[in-house]
Structure formats: C-alpha cells, structure tokens
Amino acid sequence: MKLVKATKSRLVFELGQREKRSLPHILKQYPCVPSAHHVLSKSGRVPDRAASQQLLDEALAEQREENRKQVRALLADPRRFEPTETGARLSLSPAEAEWLMQVLNDIRVGSWVILGSPDRKPVELSAANAPHFLAMEMAGYFQMQLLEALERET
C-alpha cells in the first residue's frame, strides 16, 4: 500500500493484488476486541460501578455497530477500490483515513488479546492462532501506511 496522491481533501493509495485481497478480509473481522476487555475502572472507585459499566458497554456497542455499517459501506462502494493493472486504488478523505486507523487498531489489539497478549510473536503458530496473528500483523501494516500518509498530508 503506497500513497500516490495527497491533497488536503483526498489520500489516494495504490494497493497491490495481495493488499487488495487482504484489506477487505481484515476489515470484515471488525470488531475484534472482546467486549469484556473494556472496563470502566480497574481501581473500583466509581460511584454506581454496575450502572456506569452498563452505560460504557451500551455506548461501545453503538459505536461498534456504527463502525460495522461504515466498514460494510466502504467495502461495498466500487468507487473506493478502483481496479488497476497491478491491484487497486483506494481513495479516502483524511477523516476517513483516521477512522480506518481506529477500526484497524481494534482488529490489531483484539487479535493480540485473543492471542493471549504476547510480548513477542507466538513461538509456534497453529491452525487456531495463525489467522489472529495474520490479522494483527496486517492491521498494523495498514495502520502504518495510513499514519505515514496522514503525517505527510499535514
């Protein structure tokens, strides 16, 4: 994924064939962070902790559903992934790129949590953990490309 054009209103990326196939596959895994991972406070010093946690859970569920809808819309929009000889061109506004980074971060962190929050790569990949490891690494790769493009654009 390479930035090929950057203006104040548009970022255009060139995706190779593998990236063109991988990005939608990775995005379809959203959301990935387990709901139980988000706790209001670890200290327990929150008035009416149960009600406050419930409000947080409801707000996160609403945000996840909205993000899911936006992911589906992004993937369904044929203007987003314009075919090229070598793959596709992806066009995003800077705000959409920021949002996409947040979605990818959920996938990256969620995969890391599912893998047991390892400090290093799993010693032994298995059929069970390999998809999560791949999602974690690819989400991080796409995040870095978006971050570099946003830094260049500003």
Three-class DSSP category at 29: coil
The reply to whether 101 falls in a domain is yes
Classify residue 60: in a domain, yes or no: no
Would 58 be classed as within a structural domain?
Answer: no
- Encode pLDDT of 16-58 as tens digits: 999 999 999 999 999 999 876 656 666 667 678 778 778 888 8
The total of structural domains in the chain comes to 1
Q: Residue 17: which residues within 8 A CB-CB, separation 6 or more?
A: 86, 87
Whether 64 maps to a domain, the answer reads no
d(CA 131, CA 111): 9
The pLDDT of residue 125 is: 84
In a domain, 40, yes or no: no
User: Is residue 10 included in any domain, yes or no?
Assistant: yes
Question: Structural domain of residue 109, as residue ranges?
Answer: 2-34+80-153
Q: In this structure, is residue 84 part of a structural domain? A: yes
The predicted structure's pLDDT at residue 121: 64
Classify residue 124: in a domain, yes or no.
Answer: yes
User: pTM score, two decimals?
Assistant: 0.86
**Cα-based distances in Å from 83 to 28, 29, 44, 141:** 20, 23, 52, 21
> How far apart (Å, rounded) are the C-alpha atoms in residues 32 and 44?
26
What is d(CA 99, CA 103) in angstroms, rounded to the nearest whole number?
A: 6
Question: What's the pLDDT tens digit per position in 63-80?
Answer: 999 999 999 999 999 889
